[in-house]
């Protein structure tokens, strides 16, 4: 039986199937109104984990969620990310894990989200030009000051996760991962062994036509959609996986969240698992 809940950091309980807010437009006014409606509908349907970031509109996405949901209902976790900043010279986004930048973005996130503490704060990317100890040390200081509850990482390797665990307690990892893109399988395994929440982004992706056909076949067998099959596969693949599919449409939101009720048989999982296997390139033509 697949559990629908997980305790991040061992104590912060959420429903495993969450919502990624990145795709919610903040303008024009009509788009913003729909975004507010989608965020509110997500909470109505029981979502307790929402993901945003400073990079999403330079904080505009954080402000949108606060407009839609503040005062927040009990049990709702909004996690945000810091560590990517816009260059004042070029206007392009770049990695920036300098302590002053991280502190400033956390303070801005607190203000935009209208909270006194960010219960889960994730480092959007590790900045290779700033010592890791300085980046994580700054977040640990903010945690000690009570401005951060738990610390997570995003787009890390197993080696980077191991290094981080020597400095801080890691509560979550957010890496790209889905049924057809399992590059970070070893990172997921490390998270599972340590009880660290694994928040896959880009939760749905289609490969070659044969692969899509297999997913479509399983969808037909279950009475679900290919998207629901991909999400149900994630939920059953590991108990630490907390998918955060995003959408700007209420019908897609409802479709995504219904995946929690889709049960896959062991045979269906076996067939889906084979989709990510690499072909034997040494075999004959």
With a cut of 60, say whether residue 157 has pLDDT above it: yes
With a cut of 90, say whether residue 284 has pLDDT above it: no
Return the axis-axis angle of helices 132-144 and 158-165, rounded to nearest 10°: 50
d(CA 83, CA 101): 7
270 is catalytic: no
Would you state the pLDDT for residue 108? 98
Q: In 3-state terms, what secondary structure has residue 95?
A: strand
Would you state the pLDDT for residue 119? 98
d(CA 84, CA 272): 35
Cα–Cα nearest to 204, from 250, 272, 151: 272
Element containing residue 7 per DSSP (H, E): strand 5-8
Residue boundaries of the structural domains of the chain? 5-206+239-246
Would you state the pLDDT for residue 204? 86
pTM, two decimal places: 0.94
CATH superfamily of 5-206+239-246: NADP-dependent oxidoreductase domain (3.20.20.100)
For the ranges 6-20, 40-54, 76-90, 210-224, the lowest mean pLDDT is seen at 210-224
With a cut of 90, say whether residue 1 has pLDDT above it: no
Would you state the pLDDT for residue 280? 36
d(CA 201, CA 245): 7
d(CA 156, CA 163): 10
Rounded to the nearest integer, the mean pLDDT of the chain is: 94
Tokens (6 digits) for 10:
């061992």
Strands 148-154 and 84-86: what pairing? unpaired
Are 60 and 29 a contacting pair, CB within 8 Å?
no
DSSP calls for 195-216 = T-EE--BS-----SHHHHHHHH
Would you state the pLDDT for residue 278? 52
What are the tens digits of pLDDT across the range 231-241?
A: 999 999 999 99
For the ranges 27-36, 153-162, 206-215, the lowest mean pLDDT is seen at 206-215
Would you state the pLDDT for residue 88? 82
For 84-182, where are the E strands, in sequence order?
84-86, 93-95, 118-123, 148-154, 170-174
d(CA 120, CA 122): 7
Please name every residue paired with 45 in a beta bridge, in sequence order, or none if there are none. Answer: none
Tokens (6 digits) for 223:
């009475």
User: Cα 276–282–285 angle (5° rounding)?
Assistant: 95
Would you state the pLDDT for residue 282? 32
pLDDT grade for 215, boundaries at 50, 70 and 90:
very high
What are the tens digits of pLDDT across the range 158-212?
A: 999 999 999 999 999 999 999 999 999 999 999 999 999 999 999 987 544 456 8
With a cut of 50, say whether residue 285 has pLDDT above it: no
What are the tens digits of pLDDT across the range 90-149?
A: 889 999 999 999 999 999 999 999 999 999 999 999 999 999 999 999 999 999 999 999
**% of the chain residues with pLDDT over 70:** 95
Are 49 and 41 a contacting pair, CB within 8 Å?
no
């Amino acid at each position: 039986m697949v559990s629908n809940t997980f305790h991040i950091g061992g104590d912060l309980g959420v429903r495993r199937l969450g919502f990624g807010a990145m795709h919610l437009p903040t303008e024009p006014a009509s788009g913003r109104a729909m975004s507010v409606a989608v965020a509110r509908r997500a909470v109505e349907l029981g979502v307790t984990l929402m993901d945003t970031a400073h990079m999403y509109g330079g904080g505009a996405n954080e402000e949108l969620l606060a407009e839609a949901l503040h005062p927040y209902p009990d049990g709702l976790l909004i996690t945000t990310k810091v560590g990517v900043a816009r260059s004042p010279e070029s206007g392009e986004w770049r990695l920036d894990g300098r302590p002053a930048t991280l502190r400033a973005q956390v303070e801005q996130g607190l203000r935009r989200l209208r909270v006194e503490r960010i219960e889960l704060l994730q480092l959007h990317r590790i900045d290779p030009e700033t010592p890791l100890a300085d980046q994580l040390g700054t977040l640990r200081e903010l945690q000690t000051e009570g401005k951060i509850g738990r610390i997570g990482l995003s787009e890390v390797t197993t080696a980077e996760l191991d290094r981080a665990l020597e400095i801080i307690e890691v509560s979550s990892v957010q890496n790209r991962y889905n049924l057809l893109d399992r590059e970070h399988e070893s990172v997921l395994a490390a998270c599972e062994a340590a009880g660290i929440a694994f928040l896959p982004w880009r939760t749905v992706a289609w490969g070659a036509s044969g692969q899509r056909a297999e997913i479509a076949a399983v969808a037909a067998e279950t009475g679900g959609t290919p998207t629901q099959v991909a999400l149900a596969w994630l939920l059953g693949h590991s108990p630490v996986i907390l998918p955060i599919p995003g959408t700007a449409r209420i019908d897609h939101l409802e479709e995504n969240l219904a995946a929690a009720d889709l049960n896959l048989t062991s045979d269906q999982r076996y067939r889906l698992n084979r989709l990510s296997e690499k072909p034997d390139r040494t075999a004959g033509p």
